[in-house]
Structure 1
Amino acid sequence: MIHQHLTEFHGLPVHEVGDEVTEPRPLAAEVAWRVAGDDFDDEFEETFAELLETVDCAAVRALVVGTWGWAHDDRRADVPIGLLIEAAPRFPALEAIFLGDYVSEESEISWIGQSDVTPLLTAYPRLKRLDVRGGDGLAFQAVDHAALETLRFETGGLPADVVRAVGASTLPALRHLELWLGTENYSGDSGPDDWAPILAGRGLPALRHLGLQDSERQDDVATAVATAPIVARLESLDLSMGTLSDAGAEALLTGQPLTHLKRLNLRHHYLSAEMSKRVLDALADVEVDLSDEQDFSEHNWRYIEVSE
């Protein structure tokens, strides 16, 4: 569960639009501006208008979009995207957008109603970072974008269509890709055929960090990664948050070498102590995170870290 709103984004402290407690008022480029309405009331438009009226938008570098109303109201899913697209000429310096800064008290992650986020990349051709939280109704289209360096989807279930669209995109500047694949119960229905274009890496020549995380099929992910062409040029690999067991770890150890990595994140796993030791011994010069060990007994159900 996610219990705290962002306090930092894109290397900047987050400042709430309308929050006058902080004195003196920060300069527009010094903070990530958070725009949010009420959990259940349609106040987002008013707060966004306040941002446009009171902040030097031409200098804004990062925006955090929080609650835009009741998360389950599909009629509201397009509201923040529509306003951001309409206002794009007002934000020539915008580098980063976080869409969906809801915490669990406002909405569980898999209940956050999203829509097609691709138009944000079309409207902001100089955008360097896009983070999206929530997978209900989420859509993404294959896109060519020359500037994007970081793309993250935080979901309890990432639709296969979205995964395939990422793999079909041409993102020459992308260095960080993070996908929370989730569970099929919440539309996380992707599999090896859907991951394959990403793992081939043809449209991602600059990628240095890959996260395929939070999957109920984490062993299958590890098996696919073990022979993936893209791994040879990665600096860090994240297979955390899922149901990784000894079978998946064995695939990693018997696949292509991983000793070139600086970091391998396997946190929240179902590995036995013996397998954990084998991984650490085989990757002695790699920073390996094996924290948050779960009960790996065959008789216990395995859970991903973030689902509902």
Structure 2
Amino acid sequence: MTISRHITEYAGLPIAEFTSGSAPDVPAAGHAWRVRSESYKEGAFAELWARFLDTVDTAEITALVVGYWGPSERGNANYPVALLADAAARFPKLRSLFFGEIVLEESEVSWIEHGDIGPLLAAFPALERFDVRGSEGLTLDPFKSDALKTLRFETGGLPAGIVRTVGASDLPALEHLDLWLGTGEYGGDATVQDLAPVLGGERFPALRRLGLENAEIADEIAAALAGAPVVARLESLSLALGALGDTGMEALLSGQPLTHLRRLDLHHHFVTDPMIERARAALPGVDLDLSEREDPDEDWRFVAVSE
């Protein structure tokens, strides 16, 4: 799982790491810059961010990764939304932003505490890619972007309010949407009904890659996808990381055709061997990922990423 270790590239670029103790001697252009605090002191990220702005030619940066910002206490001086928004004019070429690239040794995913991330989207209207990890306290109002092509939320439990916000947003250029829905235990209370604007196919006309992942309700989602209009225009569909079982797989195979898909990613699942063989036979031309099978007889089906 990439959530257990820091990414080494982002938006097709190698990572240049700017931490409390080091600044790499590399050109600003051609790298995705990660700013990551190594201190638990309140205000440490603000100090690090100020040094970053003074050290690196931010006018050349196209991809930015914001890592650990300190103790997870909403409203404290470490939460960096305002810092980034205030410095937006210094990043005229920024097109990709990963907010919260925090790994397990720094914080459990469901302990990454957030607030309102709307100011980031308002400050950087030219963003083409926006990734967010963590969801505790996360808020976002519906927004409009003519530039955004990729939107991803990595969580152990994505609140229904965020799912509804995505469905109500105006994103005509959106090609790739990933929602890690998670479990109710960690705030993932979205239902299939909350996904209706996405599944309806009209909301995001450019959508080609859809991930409804890490979902406790994977079987219910699969049943909804069996007749969802959005599926016909997709090139890639993912229900990976979730609790998909035979019921969900039966729904997928008995529903609308999936043979047009280039890729169907179902890795980490609870599907039995006979149903796996049936899927492979039904989808011979599809890149079908059925790896990481968990015990189908397990009484408790679990998602790959929760706490």
TM (norm. structure 2) is 0.96
Distance change >3 Å, CA 76–CA 21, structure 1 → 2: closer
Q: Who is 1:304 aligned against?
A: 303
SS of the aligned residue for 1:127 comes to coil
State the Cα distance separating 1:106 from its structure 2 match: 1.0
Q: Does 1:192 align with 2:206?
A: no
Q: Who is 1:17 aligned against?
A: 18
State the Cα distance separating 1:105 from its structure 2 match: 1.2
Paired with 1:87 and 1:20, the residues of 2 have a C-alpha distance of 21
What amino acid sits opposite 1:301 in the alignment? W
Q: Does 1:51 align with 2:52?
A: yes
- Any residues of structure 2 matched to 1:95-110 within 5 Å, and which? 95-110=95-110
Q: Confirm or deny: 8 A CA contact 1:5 1:102 kept in the other structure.
A: yes
Q: For structure 2, list consecutive stretches of 5 or more residues without a partner in the other structure.
A: none
SS of the aligned residue for 2:278 comes to helix
State the Cα distance separating 1:251 from its structure 2 match: 0.5
SS of the aligned residue for 1:28 comes to coil
SS of the aligned residue for 2:15 comes to strand
For the aligned residue pairs, the C-alpha RMSD in angstroms reads: 1.4
SS of the aligned residue for 2:80 comes to helix
Q: Does 1:66 align with 2:71?
A: no
SS of the aligned residue for 1:79 comes to coil
SS of the aligned residue for 2:207 comes to coil
The farther-off stretch of 38-47 and 108-117 is: 38-47
Identity level (%): 52
What amino acid sits opposite 2:80 in the alignment? P
Paired with 1:141 and 1:301, the residues of 2 have a C-alpha distance of 35
State the Cα distance separating 1:75 from its structure 2 match: 2.3
Paired with 2:261 and 2:137, the residues of 1 have a C-alpha distance of 35
What amino acid sits opposite 2:301 in the alignment? R
Paired with 1:212 and 1:250, the residues of 2 have a C-alpha distance of 17
Deviations 1:85-128 (A, max 9, x none): 10011111001111111111111000000112122111111001
What amino acid sits opposite 2:304 in the alignment? E
Q: Confirm or deny: 8 A CA contact 2:157 2:186 kept in the other structure.
A: yes
State the Cα distance separating 1:31 from its structure 2 match: 0.7
State the Cα distance separating 1:226 from its structure 2 match: 1.1
Deviations 1:38-60 (A, max 9, x none): 35223111111111111111111
SS of the aligned residue for 1:74 comes to coil
Q: Who is 1:280 aligned against?
A: 280
Q: Who is 2:250 aligned against?
A: 250
State the Cα distance separating 1:202 from its structure 2 match: 2.2
State the Cα distance separating 1:236 from its structure 2 match: 0.2
- Any residues of structure 2 matched to 1:103-118 within 5 Å, and which? 103-118=103-118
TM (norm. structure 1) is 0.95
State the Cα distance separating 1:78 from its structure 2 match: 7.4
Q: Confirm or deny: 8 A CA contact 2:110 2:156 kept in the other structure.
A: yes
What amino acid sits opposite 1:305 in the alignment? A
Q: Confirm or deny: 8 A CA contact 2:17 2:23 kept in the other structure.
A: no
Q: Confirm or deny: 8 A CA contact 1:17 1:50 kept in the other structure.
A: no
Distance change >3 Å, CA 80–CA 31, structure 1 → 2: same
What amino acid sits opposite 2:144 in the alignment? D
What amino acid sits opposite 1:51 in the alignment? F
Paired with 1:35 and 1:145, the residues of 2 have a C-alpha distance of 25
- Any residues of structure 2 matched to 1:130-279 within 5 Å, and which? 130-279=130-279
Q: What is the total number of aligned residue pairs between the two structures?
A: 304
State the Cα distance separating 1:76 from its structure 2 match: 3.2
State the Cα distance separating 1:300 from its structure 2 match: 2.6
Q: For structure 1, list consecutive stretches of 5 or more residues without a partner in the other structure.
A: none
Distance change >3 Å, CA 97–CA 21, structure 1 → 2: closer
Paired with 1:77 and 1:251, the residues of 2 have a C-alpha distance of 48
Task: List structure 1 segments (4+ residues) > 6 angstroms apart after TM superposition.
Answer: none
Deviations 1:162-211 (A, max 9, x none): 00110111111111100000000011000011011111132211111000
Paired with 1:47 and 1:78, the residues of 2 have a C-alpha distance of 10
What amino acid sits opposite 1:27 in the alignment? P
State the Cα distance separating 1:79 from its structure 2 match: 2.6
Paired with 2:225 and 2:77, the residues of 1 have a C-alpha distance of 34
SS of the aligned residue for 1:277 comes to helix
What amino acid sits opposite 1:12 in the alignment? L
Distance change >3 Å, CA 151–CA 62, structure 1 → 2: same
Paired with 1:124 and 1:179, the residues of 2 have a C-alpha distance of 21
The farther-off stretch of 283-292 and 8-17 is: 8-17
Paired with 1:58 and 1:177, the residues of 2 have a C-alpha distance of 28
